[in-house]
Amino acid sequence: MRARWFLIPLLALTAQSVWGQPYSGKVVKVSDGDTLTVLVDRKQIKIRLLEIDAPELHQAFGQRSKESLGDMCAGQAATVRSTGRDKYGRILGRVDCAGVDANAEQVRRGMAWVYDRYVTDRSLYALQNEARAAHTGLWVDGTPTPPWLWRREHKR
């Protein structure tokens, strides 16, 4: 029982070091168009890209969105600016891969939507509008289904 109590402060310390201040690591996995894993001090940390929502893997453009993020970030040095955790325990953050803002770039490439529910960086809307006007990425479809609606439909 004592061993468990010893781990609680250690876990709290790890969480504190991840939240707030930027930290760096190497991208070791890309799960989909808005989730990746960064190796930091020999620990794998799953990051959910903040303020965007990419198509689900089984949704139209889901695989292409994952490939886009992978081309940009896989194996690259990444800097993460975190704001906390989501309900699945993933770190929420803005991620720069080799100096490129991956969150913004996914929107610019038409590989993710601005996540209206959680957005604070209003400049992402201009990137989304440009991608839509140019029919870039998922915007080749005149009325693509946002992932939050797709998830709701596929829960049933």
The tokens for 121 are 């960086």
pLDDT category, 47, cuts 50, 70, 90? very high
Is there a catalytic annotation at residue 94? Answer: no
- Identified catalytic residue from 2, 64, 90, 152: 90
Determine the average pLDDT of the residues in 25-39: 98
Dump pLDDT digits (tens) for 104-147. 999 999 999 999 999 999 999 999 999 999 999 999 998 999 99
- Identified catalytic residue from 51, 56, 94, 108: 56
Residue 130 DSSP SS3: helix
- Identified catalytic residue from 48, 94, 108, 109: 48
For residue 18, pLDDT beyond 60: no
Please list the helix, strand and coil fractions of the chain in percent, rounded to the nearest 5, in that order.
40, 30, 35
Mean pLDDT for all residues in the chain: 90
Fold held by 20-155: OB fold (Dihydrolipoamide Acetyltransferase, E2P) (2.40.50)
Length of the chain: 156
Q: Which residue has the higher pLDDT, 54 or 20?
A: 54
pTM for the full predicted model:
0.87
For residue 4, pLDDT beyond 80: no
- Pick the range with the lowest mean pLDDT from 6-15, 100-109, 147-156: 6-15
Among all chains, which residue has been given the structure tokens 């089984």? 58
Question: How is the chain split into domains, by residue range?
Answer: 20-155
Is there a catalytic annotation at residue 48? Answer: yes
Predicted local confidence at residue 21, as pLDDT: 81
CA 47 from chain centre, in angstroms, equals 6
pLDDT category, 156, cuts 50, 70, 90? low
Contact at 8 Å (CB) between 60 and 145?
yes
Is there a catalytic annotation at residue 130? Answer: no
